[in-house]
Amino acid sequence: MKLFRIILPLLSIVLAGCDTISGVTRGAKVHTLPDLQAIKTKIESYPEVQEVKLWDAAGSRPLTLTGIKKADEVFYLSYTDGADVRGTLMFIRDYKGEVSYSQYLIMMNRRPPQSLIDALVRVIKKIERYFE
């Protein structure tokens, strides 16, 4: 019985952290933060997309040898057609001013259906051509 009282809490801690994340993601570094409103307008012009939402948030505050730095600036553009296309374009500007972007579709504890992935990849490629 004593062993059971030790194993049960340990087992619950281990099993509580077993969520899986699956999906599609692509990303790269960019030279500067682009005009987000122009990107939003461009994505809204795609026939596969019906709605685009733009918002920003504060990211993490890196701890370096010289102290805690200012929070990353994070900008999101989520887009959907209400059915098959559901993606997010995210830009992060860190405390050094470096900018990276990623596009993704992720789900917890299940894989996105292939139809969602196929529809999203077509939009992702269009967005990436915009940056060329």
> Quick check: 66 and 76 in contact, CB under 8 A?
no
Identify the pLDDT of residue 42: 94
37 domain residue, yes or no:
yes
12 domain residue, yes or no:
no
Tokens of 3: 């062993």
pLDDT tens-digit profile, the chain (132 residues): 555 455 555 555 555 567 788 888 888 899 899 999 999 999 999 998 999 999 999 888 888 888 888 889 999 999 998 788 889 999 999 999 999 999 988 888 888 889 888 888 889 999 988 877
6 domain residue, yes or no:
no
Identify the pLDDT of residue 25: 87
113 domain residue, yes or no:
yes
Of the candidates 118, 47, 113, 120, which has an alpha carbon nearest to the alpha carbon of residue 78? 120
> Quick check: 33 and 91 in contact, CB under 8 A?
yes
Burial degree of 43 (CB within 10 A; 0-12, 13-18, 19+): buried
4 domain residue, yes or no:
no
Identify the pLDDT of residue 2: 54
Identify the pLDDT of residue 46: 93
Total domain count, the chain: 1
Domain that holds residue 127: 24-131
Backbone angles phi, psi at 91, to 5 degrees: -115, 135
17 domain residue, yes or no:
no
77 domain residue, yes or no:
yes
107 domain residue, yes or no:
yes
Identify the pLDDT of residue 75: 96
